[in-house]
Structure 1
Amino acid sequence: MGTSSAFGGQGGSTPLVPSWLGDDGAAPAAPDGTPASPGQPPDGAPPDGTPPDAPPVAPVRSPLPPIADPTRFSAARNNFSRFAGSGGDDRRSLGRAVSHYVGSSSGGARTAAARMGSARGAGSRLLGFLSDAVNRGATEALRALNLDGLAGRPIEEIFLGLADYVCPDGGSIDEGIAREAFIETIADLAGAGITDLDGITAEQMQTVFELYATNAIEARLCNDIGARTVTLPSDSREAARVQAQLNDFIRRGVADALTTARAAAAALTPDRVLAFVGRVYEQAFGILRIMGDAEAEDV
């Protein structure tokens, strides 16, 4: 499960959405590029235009995010353990695991999407590049990133060269999830029939993003529920079946979300990419919860 083994699971004191988690995993910046103020001046503070010799007013820091329920991952973890222990046969437990993860563990689809952090920023950069390649050609899209030396190279080599742009390497788990999901996406390209960036179509662009979003959601889920506490089957074929079923389940949700957003994708502009990616993640989590509930009730 790729990054699923990178982390033992979220601690009970971890907020649902950490305060440092912005649209791309970094704190938001003010229009002039400086870090945004963590809060507003207290009531009665001097308005703008205060004389320079006035004493500085210390900002009021925002309160820490509320501590989430320390047992919120238990239901998802227990059900996923049952699914894994069955070798992939217990689909009802898979449905319950995904439904509990989106609902009780993450606090709903919107919060689950907000928790994607760096994967949202990486997804928007990937989609923006691919949109440019569709509209202007691969060579021009690479030249815009000063990567024109990669033009004409095999697609896997091009994507490896894009890694530092799409998902800059960092030390946080969130950044690691985004980067590992991108590496797994590169490995998935050939299986999806995408072998040449020159002449890439809008449909292929959607497929690449679908692969990335699927890998990112899978990695986020597995890290959150605590992959090291879930015992996979000792038989390698059964373990691969468990992984494939989880990946396929998530991909169906992402594909449905992208189908719903097809009109917005056709009118995508650079300044709308990040918001579009955020909506797709939110819709995907909402669909996954519905799919999970349906799977859990299936007899």
Structure 2
Amino acid sequence: MGTSTAYGGPGGDTPLIPSWLGSDPGSEPDSGQDGDPSADPDSLPAPPDKPSIPQAADPQRFSVARNNFTRFAGSGGSDRASLGRAVSGYVSTSSGGARQATQRMGASRGAGARLLGFLSDANARGMREALKEFNLDSMAGRPISEVFVALADHICPGAGTVDEGIAREAYIETIIDLADQGLAALDTFSPEQMDTVFELYATHAIEARICNDIGTKVVTMPSNVQIAHQVEKQLRDFIRGAVSDALTRARESTPNVTQTQVLSFVDSVYESAFSILKSLGDAEADQ
């Protein structure tokens, strides 16, 4: 929602985990011959199996979450039980669980890791030194919102696919939110403020992923703009509460994240957030 570009949602038979996630397009299998044409064919390793095509998922797996979210939106945000069922169903049925929901975050995982890596580096070595890594040291001393605009192509490279678009638009939404959080004019920040920035990003990324998967074009939103914004805010607040709890848990086990740990840390936050969303959704549905 927000500035995210809506589309009709993925086809129902799209695999739960897209085949391109986690792939390494630059590698090629070793032929085993090392350029020796006389190598014994019988001693050569068997050719690698052809990549398997992911099995088509249940074509109806988005429908329950979509219908529940439509009921929630149609109520103007008063039907919290339908919101709970929509979010819980998205995690458990549409995505296949918290771990697979995390894998579906795709480009938002990498962008989140790059953002958190930059924030951690700036906190440890200072903004100028961190910006030198991107040849942007001239931006040191500028408000953090301007710094983030300059970093956009480094944090979120590419926007040619829906997945990349989600990552970039979540980043843009985060920059917009900096003013509301009182962070836009800073030229440095505390560890707590650093976590707030990442929390905002992860919240927007999860919200955009859910809304694009469910298919915002087929979810009926209230015609009243103020009520529609209230519906969006309730969903965002619901997600942010889960992200905040997940980040707190992750920091308890890994208070100081190194650059080599940052992607696994981000994945742990996403997975924990989806697990918490499932539990919160079930609790809302039971009320």
Amino acid at match of 2:27: P
1:295 aligns with 2:280: no
Amino acid at match of 1:190: A
Q: 2:152, 2:171 → 1: CA distance?
A: 7
Kindly tell me: are residues 274 and 52 of structure 1, through their superposed partners in 2, closer, same or farther at Cα, counting changes over 3 Å?
Answer: farther
Instruction: Give 1:146's aligned residue.
Output: 135
Instruction: Give 1:35's aligned residue.
Output: 27
1:209-232 superposed Cα distances (whole Å, 9 cap, x missing partner): 000000000000000001000111
Preserved contact between residue 2 and residue 180 of structure 1 (Cα < 8 Å) = no
Alignment of 1:33-112 (within 5 A): 34-35=26-27, 37=29, 51-54=36-39, 58-112=47-101
Q: 1:150, 1:182 → 2: CA distance?
A: 19
Q: CA deviation at 1:267?
A: 2.1
3-state secondary structure, aligned to 1:19: coil
Q: CA deviation at 1:264?
A: 4.0
Q: CA deviation at 1:142?
A: 0.5
Instruction: Quote the sequence identity (%).
Output: 60
Preserved contact between residue 3 and residue 223 of structure 1 (Cα < 8 Å) = no
Instruction: Give 1:212's aligned residue.
Output: 201
Preserved contact between residue 123 and residue 209 of structure 1 (Cα < 8 Å) = yes
1:261 aligns with 2:253: no
**Which stretch of the first structure deviates more once superposed, 6-15 or 128-137?**
6-15
Residues matched between the structures, number: 283
Q: CA deviation at 1:171?
A: 1.1
1:177 aligns with 2:166: yes
Instruction: Give 1:160's aligned residue.
Output: 149
Kindly tell me: are residues 214 and 254 of structure 1, through their superposed partners in 2, closer, same or farther at Cα, counting changes over 3 Å?
Answer: same
Instruction: Give 2:16's aligned residue.
Output: 16
Which sections of structure 2, spanning at least 5 residues, go unmatched?
none
Q: CA deviation at 1:5?
A: 4.0
Kindly tell me: are residues 10 and 114 of structure 1, through their superposed partners in 2, closer, same or farther at Cα, counting changes over 3 Å?
Answer: same
Preserved contact between residue 4 and residue 169 of structure 2 (Cα < 8 Å) = no
Give the TM-score normalised by the residue count of structure 2. Answer: 0.93
Amino acid at match of 1:8: G
3-state secondary structure, aligned to 2:9: coil
Preserved contact between residue 5 and residue 227 of structure 1 (Cα < 8 Å) = no
Give the TM-score normalised by the residue count of structure 1. Answer: 0.90
CA RMSD of aligned residues (A): 1.9
Kindly tell me: are residues 133 and 197 of structure 1, through their superposed partners in 2, closer, same or farther at Cα, counting changes over 3 Å?
Answer: farther
Amino acid at match of 2:112: G
Preserved contact between residue 156 and residue 164 of structure 2 (Cα < 8 Å) = yes
Q: 1:275, 1:48 → 2: CA distance?
A: 37
Q: 1:53, 1:228 → 2: CA distance?
A: 61
Which sections of structure 1, spanning at least 5 residues, go unmatched?
none
**Which stretch of the first structure deviates more once superposed, 61-70 or 148-157?**
148-157
Instruction: Give 1:188's aligned residue.
Output: 177
Q: CA deviation at 1:113?
A: 0.3
Kindly tell me: are residues 3 and 71 of structure 1, through their superposed partners in 2, closer, same or farther at Cα, counting changes over 3 Å?
Answer: farther
1:239 aligns with 2:228: yes
